[in-house]
Amino acid sequence: MQRPFLTDRLAPFGTSIFSEMTRLAVEHDAVNLAQGFPDFDGPPALIEAVSTAMLEGHNQYARSMGHPLLVQALARQQAARYGLAYDPMTEVVVTSGATEAIAAAMLGLLRQGDEVILIEPFYDSYPACVALCGARPRYLTLRFPDFRLCPDELAALITPATRAIMLNTPHNPTGRVFSREELAGVAKLAREHDLWVISDEVYEHLTYDGLAHLPIASLPGMRERTLTISSAGKTFSVTGWKVGWCFGPAAMVAAVQAAHQFLTFATSTPMQVGLARFLDQLDASFFSELTAAYTARRDALLGMLRGVGFELAPSQGTYFLTGSFHALSSLDDRAFAATLVRDIGVAAIPPSVFYAARPQEARHLLRFAFCKQPATLARAAERLRALHASGPAQGRGPGSEPLAGPAGLPDLPGLLG
Ligand code: PMP
Ligand code: GLN
């Protein structure tokens, strides 16, 4: 009998929900509020800077740890924004997206049998990377509706085998921006038990309502044990470029680099050169406009979802809203997401796939992305109106009458881009 091709370490993970839902969205011609990618382009000046770099001939392998122009620009930004000083040549690695940085961090740091604490709901690559390392995940569960991180529950998961905590703030999919108190609780335990923190901060620039992003590396005693990961994809609306990076103390970054050099060796050179030049001419107005535009999109989607019966709070960060549909259906999240994409024509993510220990916590939840143009959100609103009175099964089916929308749905076409 032939041995299975797929290694045991990856066999449990199947196909990523992002690929699955985007495929279903295309198949059913649905509005895709599932996979988190903007349906608009990044800043023209950035695209021009990358094109220019290519035309200038920046087309061969970059320095493995990152093009000097980019690591310098990133280090300047981290110092100016958060007061975190890193040596650009030894304390930064540029990777192919944050996804590679996460993989390289775990592959570089973890040994067989080490335990890593993951916060569920998690970004789906975390448990897969832990498994690739032969390490073991332990899960801290966040619960709807407030998704608070409880340091006492975290403390209860720590054993002599625990080596690292994987953190993500602003948090996908809950939209939480963890408070200073929550982060201080994590930091205290990390210091007391000599744990590393791998902090995924790809949504660092997407925080709302005056909340500021706080890198855990900036808390006392944390810089020396923290890897801080981010990426250009979310901030600059270029998720397809896959340029990410990782900051940390030199010895920790050397471990990441040890893996990175054999995973991809280096990241796209013209992207790095173009991004570096763009970062150097960026001013604060870029970030305030980004926040304003995303706040408007968040509020539009929030109003629309509440209007049709979802229970949810405004997200504090990221470009996701996660809420409960318990008033609309008794289906579980996967079944409801399937009905929604097929019968209503809107794709969302069933977040139980982001839980391992307690998937039932997400049984009545769905995640929607609002990194979409006003016209896209308006189209979703129109379709979601069908949910309100009829229930999902009578959405776009032949002969179904369009239902009058409930009061309170926002006037989406008037929304700012
Ligand atoms: N971490 C989180 C929490 C994310 O949501 C994403 C994005 N999709 C990533 C990492 C991956 O980022 P990148 O596309 O830069 O690999
Ligand atoms: N980060 C995005 C999301 O959460 C998409 C990631 C992906 O497609 N792998 O939707």
One-letter-per-residue 3-state SS of 336-371: HHHHHHHHHCEECECHHHHCCCCHHHHCCEEEEECC
CA 374–ligand 2 middle distance (angstroms): 21
CATH number for the domain spanning 232: value is 3.40.640.10
User: Domain range for residue 81?
Assistant: 44-280
Measured CA to CA in angstroms, residue 363 lies from 189, 252, 368 at distances of 31, 38, 15
Tell me, yes or no, whether 254 and 224 share the same domain. yes
> Is the C-beta atom of 196 inside 6 A of ligand 1?
no
Look at residue 409 in the predicted model and tell me its pLDDT.
36
Strands (E), 264-331: 320-324
CATH number for the domain spanning 337: value is 3.90.1150.10
Tell me, yes or no, whether 190 and 313 share the same domain. no
Pocket lined around ligand 2, Cβ cut-off 6 Å: 16, 18, 35-36, 172
> Is the C-beta atom of 200 inside 6 A of ligand 1?
yes
Look at residue 408 in the predicted model and tell me its pLDDT.
35
Q: What are phi and psi of 385, to 5 degrees?
A: -55, -30
> Is the C-beta atom of 35 inside 6 A of ligand 1?
no
CA 348–ligand 2 middle distance (angstroms): 12
Pick the atom of ligand 1 nearest to 37's CA. Answer: 8
- 194 within some domain: yes
Look at residue 388 in the predicted model and tell me its pLDDT.
72
CA 99–ligand 1 middle distance (angstroms): 6
Pick the atom of ligand 1 nearest to 100's CA. Answer: 16
Tell me, yes or no, whether 273 and 150 share the same domain. yes
CB pairs under 8 A, 24+ apart, for 139-146?
139/355, 139/356, 139/357, 139/358, 141/355, 141/357, 141/358, 141/361, 142/171, 142/174, 142/176, 142/361, 143/361, 144/322, 144/324, 144/361, 144/362, 144/365, 145/311, 145/312, 145/313, 145/324, 146/313
Tell me, yes or no, whether 178 and 103 share the same domain. yes
How many domains is the chain partitioned into structurally?
A: 2
Look at residue 390 in the predicted model and tell me its pLDDT.
58
Tell me, yes or no, whether 51 and 191 share the same domain. yes
> In a structure prediction context, what are the per-residue pLDDT tens digits for the chain, which is 417 residues long?
788 999 999 999 988 999 999 999 999 999 999 999 999 999 999 999 999 999 999 999 999 999 999 999 999 999 999 999 999 999 999 999 999 999 999 999 999 999 999 999 999 999 999 999 999 999 999 999 999 999 999 999 999 999 999 999 999 999 999 999 999 999 999 999 999 999 999 999 999 999 999 999 999 999 999 999 999 999 999 999 999 999 999 999 999 999 999 999 999 999 999 999 999 999 999 999 999 999 999 999 999 999 999 999 999 999 999 999 999 999 999 999 999 999 999 999 999 999 999 999 999 999 999 999 999 999 999 999 988 755 544 445 443 333 233 333 343 333 333
Instruction: Please state the pTM of the whole predicted model.
Output: 0.93
* Domain end (from 235, 256, 280): 280
